Chains A and B, each alone.
Chain A
Amino acid sequence: QVQLQESGPGLVKPSETLSLTCTVSGASVSGGRDYWTWIRQPPGKGLEWIGHVYYSGNTFYSPSLKSRVTISLGAPKNQFSLKVTSVTAADTAVYYCARASVVLRNFDNWGQGALVTVSS
């Protein structure tokens, strides 16, 4: 059974960098079958796809966040991470990590989500 768990600071100051890690069990981030994905949801609002990383390290990001986002694999640990630079209050959200199948193009496993608040 595949499980994902987000971890990282719950409070970040404006203009600083938000950093989160997703720890994966039951599947390998180096396996080549999946896109390792970050998605976020501001309080009371809808979902937003942030981007994903492939086992090769190749990444693809949302056009609206591309200039501030980096997603990377956590080798040798079975993890992947998210960094968002120059954060503002608009980046306050629950951040989810998820697994998406390269072949099936589905998102079958999600973490429980981590709330990150941007505030001084």
Chain B
Amino acid sequence: QTVVTQEPSLTVSPGGTVTLTCASSTGAVSSGNYPNWFQQKPGQAPRPLIYSISYKHSWTPARYSGSLLGGKAALTLSGVQPEDEAEYYCLIYYGGAWFFGGGTKLTVL
């Protein structure tokens, strides 16, 4: 079974830049894994942010961007705002199934 690994927690200052990563136990993440990123705040359903590495939904703020970085999927937040404090999950496709990462708790401090 594919295991997807994310940083458990990260802290960033308001206005700063932070990169979250998503690694797969099956090897380098590629376009064929269609990495997605979601934001979740307490008590809310996950909110889709990024799909297929770097495509944004119509509601995704411009400060969010997705990429591949060193064999991992990456989510970069530039000019972080206090409202970006949340849990972030990546999701990748492998062998017909989808696998979530364990989530990264992002603190804005």
Residues of A within 8 A of B (CB): 39, 46-49, 51, 60-64, 96, 104-108, 110-113
Q: Is B1 interfacial (CB-CB < 8 Å)? A: yes
Asked whether A63 and B1 contact (CB < 8 A) given A105-B52, A107-B48, the answer is yes
Segment of B17-25, B69-77, B94-102 in the binding face: B94-102
> Within B41-83, which residues are at the interface with A (CB < 8 Å)?
45-46, 48, 51-52, 55, 57
Docked pose: A96 CA to B103 CA in angstroms: 17
B91 touches A111 (CB 8 A): no
The total of chain B residues at the interface (CB under 8 A) is: 23
A63–B89 touching, CB < 8 Å? no
Cβ–Cβ contact B51 & A105, under 8 A = yes
- B98: chain A residues at CB < 8 Å are 49
Does A46 lie within 8 Å of B89, measured CB to CB? Answer: yes
- Whether B1 and A47, one on each chain, are in contact in the complex, defined by CB atoms closer than 8 angstroms, is no
